[in-house]
Amino acid sequence: MSISLPLPPLYLRLSVTDRCNLRCLYCRPDKAEDTLARHPSQLSAEDLLDLVELVNTAVPIYKLRLTGGDPLVRPDLDKFIRKVRKLLPDAEIALTTNGLLLSRQVKALKEAGLDTMNISLDATEFGMFEKISKVNAFDDVLEGILAAKKSGFKSLKLNTVLLRQFNGQSLHELVEFAADLNCELRFIELMPIGVASDYFKSEFLPANEAMELLQPHFGDPIPLGLKGTASRYLFQFRGKKTVVGFITTISEPFCGTCDRLRIDSRGWLFPCLHDYDGLDLLTLCRTAEREQAVRLIQSVHAEKKSPVQEWTSQQMVRIGG
């Protein structure tokens, strides 16, 4: 096809590792079936930086989100962020983490140039946290959240995957927890990707039903409109105010406005979580086929459209949360 340049800037989600220190039931298989744990993918910082530079050459990156796995298992993450900040001085650099290792790294991440952070938190009750994550580590996550608050990040969000039988009846507790910490909460609909497809039928909880579960506790919230992919609402209770976003990937898809590309932990480029094939961007980098790679990236970005196929069979821990 003929590509009309320049293309609009893009939002790149980069999975820097598929290693993780949690085993959340919707993200990773049981230990006996987890081949990724036995053969993890984690590119060098040089390869990752090369991929980011290549994409930015093809289409300007206005936002880069580092995902995994959990990015904080990389001991060189702050150094990588410092290099990315030099490469993308005007882009927003964001991080999604489970928070377990955050308290000991947050200062270095902030100093390296990290702008914003999303911390995954699916329950505030110890037992339920362990049921979902398979690890008794709530205290570590809380310590990480508090450390991030003290470090002065301009944006700090808590991400919760809606799970009908696990946290469906305690969503109000998560709202109150986020309000106490002055963090914005994001409720994310479960997607049938990888191992999550086994739980989807029993655990999928749509955003509109989650709202109905919250109304007896908080009444009708005030709509704040759409920001990014989140429909945001202002909840008011007991003299407190807190913003809650709902990401309706399944019930109200936002494919028509999506400007994201994803690079998984092996260096493969995907335009969408519905894409099965992807593009082996790393090999193109290593074989010096950079002009071809630039044209392919531009084509992938220009041809983004609403998907018609099923969700990817990749595990979310590899393609990036």
pLDDT digit string, tens, across residues 77-124: 999 999 999 999 999 999 999 999 999 999 999 999 999 999 999 999
Per-residue pLDDT, 305: 72
Bridge partners of 241, per DSSP, are 236
Bridge partners of 44, per DSSP, are none
Q: What percent of the chain has pLDDT over 90?
A: 74
- Sole residue written with tokens 């109304």: 215
- Whether the pLDDT of residue 45 is over 90: the answer is yes
Per-residue pLDDT, 33: 55
**Upper half-sphere CA count for residue 117 (Cβ side, 13 Å):** 30
Q: Which of 206, 238, 239, 236 is nearest to 221 (CA)?
A: 236
- Given a contact cutoff of 8 angstroms between Cβ atoms, the answer to whether 314 and 263 are in contact is no
> What is the CATH class of 10-319?
alpha beta
Q: Which of 88, 94, 99, 244 is nearest to 155 (CA)?
A: 94
Q: Which residue type is seen at 107? A: K
Per-residue pLDDT, 73: 96
Residue ranges of domains in the chain: 10-319
Q: Which residue has the higher pLDDT, 143 or 315?
A: 143
Per-residue pLDDT, 40: 65
Q: Report, as an integer, the average pLDDT of 7-15.
A: 95
Q: Considering the chain, what is the average pLDDT of its residues?
A: 91
Q: Report, as an integer, the average pLDDT of 17-23.
A: 93
Q: Say whether 151 sits in a helix, a strand or coil.
A: coil
Query: CA–CA separation, 206 vs 278, rounded Å?
Result: 29
Least confident of 198-207, 237-246, 280-289: 280-289
Element (H, E) at 202: helix 200-203
CA distances from 54 to 51, 164, 216, 282, 284 (A): 5, 41, 50, 10, 10
- Sole residue written with tokens 């074989």: 287
> Counting Cβ atoms within 10 Å, is residue 279 exposed (0-12), middle (13-18) or buried (19+)?
buried
